[in-house]
Amino acid sequence: MYESIAVVGATGAVGGIILRLLEERSFPFERIKLLASRRSAGKSVTFQGKKHPVEELTPEAFEGVDLAIGSTPDEVARDFAPWAVERGCVVVDESGYWRMDAGVPLVIPEVNPDAAFTHRGILASPNCSTTQMVVAIKPLHDAARVKRVVVSTYQATSGAGVAGQRDLEQGTRSRVSGGDYRYETFAHPIAFNLIPQIGSPKHEGYTSEEMKMVHETRKILGDDSIQVCPTCVRVPVSNCHSESILVETERKLSVDEARELFASFPGIVVVDDLSAKQYPMPLNCDDRDEVFIGRIREDLSSRNGLAFWCVSDNLRKGAATNAVQIAELLVSRQAAAAQ
């Protein structure tokens, strides 16, 4: 057990879910610190039935802290993680800053748990769209080796933060009433619209969000030969990312075999009955920790291709839940070593 833990970014949307999960999952600790920016310092947050003060995020705030779980912008994570490590604290970081650092393990507990135990003070949690896709393809990769992935994402506005969700709600109200609304987060209206760009332009017409899916998938699975072709789209959905995924495997997988592989893998729930109109949808997957899979079918254009639909709560499994699960891995290793 870590005696003292900290949640960095405790007043943010993901930080709030991290706190709820620590309580729901009875995460073991003796003391907790809630850290945030100077602007939020002095506020109080209710946790485990008590009000806890929010402290300013400074190097000294990590004195005596054993474990920190952080959900902050990249530039904040760049600074605070070394502060914490210098003071003997282990950091589980939700930002994108450390993910591709060669010395930092990128961990999904259902997929590569052993990587968590190679850390040198910092562990990274993947991008939300990568996380659900890699959980989905892992059992297929283990059984038949995934060679190529073509993925189109349908990403909820919650992925752009509270302001993104506000843009959807207020923009929709304005559009319906015939009024005007000045969008805070998105470059185009999201109400009644799709935006086929998430992130900045990067490699050969792909965006930063798309290239995260390429690089992070290879790092997590430990296989640089996997080819990934992503298209990331923002859609007018409040929460839960959806993905249409096509994989090509070295060995052909039947639909029945794939369904069995999915169903037996930890963290996956299969909802797949087209005739009964049963398949994963964002409204049904909200506030859940699992990755939901349906519409499983053979690719009509490729002998070893398999297509399926995948939905997951991007604020939970795509962010907060995965980070807390990483912390639980570290606690379990501590407990095993103590026996």
- Report the mean per-residue pLDDT for the chain: 96
Residue 273 has what pLDDT?
Answer: 98
Give the model's confidence band at 223: pLDDT under 50 very low, under 70 low, under 90 confident, else very high.
very high
Tell me the per-residue pLDDT of 131-162, one tens digit each, with 9 for 90 and over: 999 999 999 999 999 999 999 999 999 999 99
Q: What is the pLDDT of residue 116?
A: 97
Distance CA 332, CA 337 (A): 9
According to the model, what pLDDT value does residue 254 have?
Answer: 97
- Catalytic residues, by residue number, are 128, 241
Q: Give the C-alpha separation, 250 to 248, whole Å.
A: 7
pLDDT range class, residue 20, cuts 50, 70, 90: very high
CATH says 4-126+319-338 is which class? alpha beta
pLDDT at position 336 is 75
Band of residue 197 on the pLDDT scale cut at 50, 70, 90: very high
pTM: 0.95
Which is nearest to 86 in space by CA: 106, 58, 127, 105?
58
CATH of segment(s) 130-314: 3.30.360.10
What is the distance between the alpha carbons of residues 57 and 292, in angstroms, rounded to a whole number?
36
Reported as a single tens digit per residue, the pLDDT across 252-261 is 999 999 999 9
Span 297-333, pLDDT tens digits = 999 999 999 999 999 999 999 999 999 999 999 999 8
Band (pLDDT 50/70/90 cuts) for residue 337 is confident
Per-residue pLDDT band for 338 (boundaries 50, 70, 90) equals confident
Specify the pLDDT at position 334: 81
Distance CA 199, CA 202 (A): 9
**Beta pairing, strands 44-47 & 31-36:** unpaired
- Written as six digits, the tokens of 302 are 């490729």
Q: Which residues of 116-150 are buried (b: 16+ CB within 10 A; e: fewer)?
A: beebeebbbbbbbbbbbbbbbbbbbbebbebebbb
What are the pLDDT digits (tens) for 37-66? Answer: 999 999 999 999 999 999 999 999 999 999
How far apart, in whole angstroms, are the C-alpha atoms of residue 184 and residue 136? 33
Q: What is the pLDDT of residue 73?
A: 94
Q: Where are the domains of the chain?
A: 4-126+319-338, 130-314
Comparing CA positions, the residue from 76, 34, 83 lying closest to residue 55 is 34
Whether pLDDT at 335 is above 80: no
User: Where do the DSSP E strands lie in 181-333?
Assistant: 227-234, 241-249, 268-270, 291-298, 305-312
Q: Identify the helix (H) or strand (E) that includes residue 22.
A: helix 13-24
Which tens digits make up the pLDDT trace of 84-93? 999 999 999 9
